[in-house]
Chains A and B, each alone.
Chain A
Amino acid sequence: MSGEFWITQAFNGLSYGALLFLLASGLSLIFGVMRIVNMAHGSYFMLGGYVGLSVVWRTGSFAAALLAGALALALVGVGMERFFLRRLPGQTLGQALMTIGFALIFQDLALLIWGGDPYSIPVPATLQGVLTAGALRFPVYRIFIVVVAVVIGAALWLILDRTRVGAMLRAAVDDREMAQGVGIHVPRISFAVFALGAALAALGGVIGAGFLGVYPGADFEVLPYAFVVVIVGGLGSLPGAMVGSLLVGLLDNFGKALFPELSYFTLFAPMALILALKPTGLFGRA
């Protein structure tokens, strides 16, 4: 195994992890604040990609696609939260089943609206191409994904750590009742978190569509990855989502490259190990 191999694979893992971060950070926050196991989170990713696709077809603008995808799915997420999930406070199982119902409906609606053909979002010319360094090649688009994830990660961290809203949100994650008790309007926080989580997943969907494509079934394909990230990193923790995404991206990549037959074990086995040692994940609190 040459140095080239390790560097290339590490870069690939990093860029895949960056995409996972966009997907999983929202899931983790939704979970942290509302204790909802959102099985429709993969659907946000897929629908985001489809909405982005339609916008690119109409306008030709990738930036507009990113914006439209995020906004549209923020609305969808908010609608689910406000009109359905909020009616079931504290019913973990009921909420999980309900989100599954939504995931099935979204899957069928996507098929109805966009048909079942695989598509790929045309990427702007500035993001195409490859940077080379000796024998090493780094596709610009993958660098772009990493940059987006870093920017969003930093912004989320600043909001959570440095602002009043962030402090309220952290309080809600730590202890919902207590936060409510000291006058924090938790339903409003939940509303915002759902919008943000769905928008981030959709953003991931549009960006992901640039190299993974958009196709029926993408929803349930990415969902397990998002869950693994959240379980490994710890529910409701932003640093957890960051470390978890990176870890899962690298594990998945090196696992597939080095032990292709065991590709799921290299992903699931560390997860089971972490669960056995620390059931709340690396950064989670009980």
Chain B
Amino acid sequence: MTLDRKVFAGVTALALAGGVAPFLPAYPLTLLTQAVIVAVFAMSLDVLLGYTGLPSLGHAAYFGIAAYAVGILSTEHQVGLAGCLGAGLLLATATAALFGLLAIRATGTYFLMITLALGMVVWGLAFRWVSMTKGDNGIAGVPRPELGLPWSLSAPLPFFYFALVVAALAWAAMGVLVRSPFGLGLRGIRESESRMRALGYSVWLHKYLAFVISGFFAGVAGVLWAYYNGFVGPVDVQLVTSVETLLMVALGGPGTLAGPALGATLIVFLKNFVSVYTKRWLLILGAVYIGVILWAPRGVLGAFRRDAR
């Protein structure tokens, strides 16, 4: 399928989501907002996992650090949107730049373990650096930002559109990135590192940049999340959050941007609907993990693509 068609499909999906939103009752709109934000997070992970072939088990670190930056700055120091966004993205990117130095040296399972360990360091900080993060209590009452527009973002619908616009921009930016020569280089590395090295590519630099860029976009999602949820806590940086994001990517289809977005939407709605009907939803979620890996290893989109060929 051609690039134009993909763009067309993406834009249609966004327009549809935007068009449906005003007619949704409050709670489903809330979930849709959540799905849009988590979709950005899942896409950011896919830049690393699907396009570069690096499975990170600590991606919540960058998401969480950006969210904490927003939470702390906006509640303790009354910093506005521009300041929070800048600080959140800067901190998330800087952390990714630091962790990348440690992690990129490893491959395969070692990469999985090292990112897991680094993620734990950040969780430890969130949990124990009480004077900064309020520890287990987390940071509550994060105010919605003011854009100086006629609509207040504290209302659900304007905030949804705000999140949708940011998500669209992030999606477009990541889309351009993965189709650029740099992005093609990443895919080449995913397929064969040695061949790319032989072709004169700086494999390390490509991987490192992918790691940092992926952290940056996770930060975008983190900033949105803090504003959306009004609460930031250690749960936002814990291992389970990282793993759940991996599941979203795996479910939707790694190596596509639409896939993770779809996976994120499915998981957000699944979690919130299933738990209404049964207390045993952890069993179901566990079964989803196993089922997806067994029967749709390339994700919903991946499975479809094969038979389209």
Residue positions of A touching B, CB distance < 8 A:
31, 35, 37, 39, 84, 87-88, 91-98, 100-105, 107-109, 112, 220, 224, 227-228, 230-231, 235, 261-265, 267-269, 271-272, 275-276, 279-280, 286
Contact = CB atoms under 8 A, between A and B. Distances in A.
Contacts of A280: 110
Interface stretch (B112-120, B180-188, B200-208, B222-230): B112-120
Contacts of B289: 97-98, 100-101, 104
Interface size class of B (residues with CB under 8 A): 35 or more
Interface stretch (B29-37, B61-69, B100-108): B100-108
B128 A264 contact: yes
B117 to A, nearest CB: 5
22 contacts: A37-B113, A93-B55, A94-B297, A95-B293, A100-B286, A101-B285, A101-B290, A102-B290, A104-B282, A104-B289, A108-B282, A108-B283, A109-B283, A112-B280, A224-B120, A235-B113, A263-B128, A264-B121, A264-B127, A264-B128, A272-B117, A279-B105
Contacts, number: 124
Given A92-B55, A109-B283, A101 B114 contact: no
B15 interface: no
Given A96-B55, A227-B116, 12 more contacts: A37-B109, A93-B112, A98-B289, A98-B290, A100-B286, A100-B289, A109-B283, A228-B117, A235-B109, A235-B113, A264-B127, A269-B121
Contacts of A98: 289-290, 293-294
Given A93-B49, A94-B297, A279 B112 contact: no
A194 B246 CA distance: 25
Interface string B80-98: 0000000000000000000
The dominant DSSP class at the B interface is helix
Contact of B286 (A96, A101, A112): A101
A97 B282 contact: no
Given A88-B293, A97-B289, A108-B286, A235 B110 contact: yes
Contacts of A262: 128
B126 to A, nearest CB: 10
A275 B102 CA distance: 7
